[in-house]
A and B are shown apart, each in its own frame.
Chain A
Amino acid sequence: AQKVTQAQTEISVVEKEDVTLDCVYETRDTTYYLFWYKQPPSGELVFLIRRNSFDEQNEISGRYSWNFQKSTSSFNFTITASQVVDSAVYFCALSEANYGQNFVFGPGTRLSVLP
């Protein structure tokens, strides 16, 4: 069965601090996809990144970076030099290629960046 765990329910940081959001997943498939989404107070989920199970390269996009480690079944997300606009709920999601296009979402981590 597929499962996504985000153990950090809420995180508060002061602006300009770095912060890492953890995501641990469970799957029996060898081919799967991992996603991160941001949900600002407006409610709409915004897609951030997709990673497939065969690509373990870390990725950096501006202040955002992602660390994918199959050995620990983790796909962690780091925000460098956080800003108030980063305040949101962040969701990690998993989709198994053999399970079609359906996603399993983690419970989310609420990030508050204080000025």
Chain B
Amino acid sequence: DGGITQSPKYLFRKEGQNVTLSCEQNLNHDAMYWYRQDPGQGLRLIYYSQIVNDFQKGDIAEGYSVSREKKESFPLTVTSAQKNPTAFYLCASSSPSSTSGRVNEQFFGPGTRLTVL
């Protein structure tokens, strides 16, 4: 089955620790995204990558880092510099926009709920 997997489902972090959230897709999509969701709010973009070995900051990149060494994988590291990391994190992927500019839908993983103790 094609899809996006995220692990772990729940993650607990002590203050001052870095943690890495995994995101893997087998949809053969070029583009991948990380979003943060806080209660009662929509999704906010942390980082995105449109191709391997390239990624761009989103709206709330401070305190986060990513890598894109393989097409299938886009891990997110939440560093100790992120002041309020407790949130629900969603990874998504999409096939690239066509040359005509058509934007394709994003497919989402099941999410990782991070709690700082």
Contacts and interface: CB of A to CB of B under 8 A. Distances in A.
Instruction: Verify that A and B bind, or say they do not.
Output: yes
Contacts of B107: 47
Contacts of A45: 43, 90, 92, 108
Most buried by B among A42, A91, A101, A108: A101
A106 B109 contact: no
A105 B42 contact: yes
Given A45-B43, A45-B92, A97-B97, 5 more contacts: A37-B108, A45-B90, A102-B45, A105-B44, A107-B42
Interface of A: 4, 9, 31, 33, 35, 37, 42-47, 50, 52, 91, 95, 97-98, 100-103, 105-108
B110 A44 contact: yes
Given A42-B110, A45-B90, A103 B41 contact: no
Contacts of B105: 35, 47, 50
B42 A100 contact: no
Contacts of A95: 103
A52 B101 CA distance: 11
